[in-house]
Amino acid sequence: MKVVLFCGGLGLRLRDYSEKVPKAMVPIGYRPVIWHVMKYYAHFGHKEFILCLGYGADAIKEYFLRYDECVSNDFVLTDGGKQIKLLNADIQDWKITFVDTGIQSTVGQRLKSVEEHIGKDEAFLANYTDGLTDLPHMDHLAHFRARNVIASCLCITPRLSMHQVTMAGDGRITRLDELSHSRIRVNGGYFIFKREIFKYICEGEELVHAPFQRLIKEDQLVGYTYNGFWAAMDTFKDKMLLDDLYARGKAPWAVWRERQNLSLYEECA
């Protein structure tokens, strides 16, 4: 299935980085966050990507035009550096379509702009480029197909650290409780769409506002609930957390590492 990625955001809450590069290009370890999202999908066999570009489009294009497989893969160097043999590769079998969808465009507009690139495919995947998860993708896909609807999105419990304040009339705080979010579900991206989704998006609309309301009225939108790992890189604090997990080899979203480890085990068995 094709994967549409919305990567035209400004990343206003990541100012230390977003003034230099688009949000999708903010790095986690060796690679930008968009690479981690793409690597997740590629792990499940989805290797044809359509990038909806906006702010910083040139930086994203330049990155992939100059992509160096050696940065995140093992290789053998011989002949004084003249010969390089990669022991494994990341994007060798990926197909990436780069589409300029406008700097100020809404997500709905960006999706409409790439309709022709979906071709005649009955269904496709779509996502933001700042949310990472270890979601069992095949389970999500099976859930979508079993319900025969037009759209599905991942529904997660947000990671929030807040306290509920109870106040008296004069402003004195009388109670402070840790706020429970166990019953709250929010849109976590990782969309699955049938191509009929384009009929529900009018000019200039945001994707999850009016179009999703139309889907709801027709009982054509389902949510896939997941309680596992999910994190969005919205702030510098979020980036530091993801960097730390990746540096310690504890990145739950790096599901492709499981396959690499299994392959190593099979070779040694």
Taking only the tens place, the pLDDT of each residue in 85-131 is 877 777 888 999 999 998 888 899 999 999 999 988 999 999 999 89
The yes-or-no verdict on residue 267 having pLDDT over 50 is: no
The yes-or-no verdict on residue 260 having pLDDT over 60 is: no
State the Cα–Cα distance between residues 8 and 101, nearest whole angstrom: 8
Confidence band, pLDDT 50/70/90 cuts, at residue 171: low
Q: What is this structure's pTM? A: 0.83
Angle at 141 between CA 25 and CA 88, to 5 degrees: 50
Map residue 76 onto helix, strand or coil.
strand
Residue 198 DSSP code: G
Residue 101 lies in a domain: yes
**How much is the pLDDT for 139?**
95
Residue 263 DSSP code: H
Residues 6+ apart with CB under 8 A from 187: 153, 154, 155, 208
State the Cα–Cα distance between residues 55 and 70, nearest whole angstrom: 28
Q: What is the rounded average pLDDT of the residues 212-238?
A: 88
What percent of the chain shows pLDDT beyond 70?
A: 83
**How much is the pLDDT for 263?**
39
Residue 177 lies in a domain: no
Residue 82 lies in a domain: yes
Residues 6+ apart with CB under 8 A from 246: 28, 29, 254
Amino acid occupying residue 156: I
Question: pLDDT (tens digit, 9 = 90+) per residue, 27-48?
Answer: 898 889 999 999 999 999 999 9
Q: Provide the mean pLDDT of the chain.
A: 83
Range of the domain at 251: 2-154+186-268
Q: What is the CATH number of the domain that holds 197?
A: 3.90.550.10
Bridge pairing between strands 131-133 and 230-232:
antiparallel
Residue 165 lies in a domain: no
CB 133 within 8 A of CB 190: yes
Please state the domain count of the chain: 1
Residue 173 lies in a domain: no
Map residue 177 onto helix, strand or coil.
strand
Residue 166 lies in a domain: no
Q: What is the rounded average pLDDT of the residues 217-222?
A: 90
**How much is the pLDDT for 3?**
97
Residue 227 lies in a domain: yes
State the Cα–Cα distance between residues 241 and 153, nearest whole angstrom: 25
CB 130 within 8 A of CB 33: yes
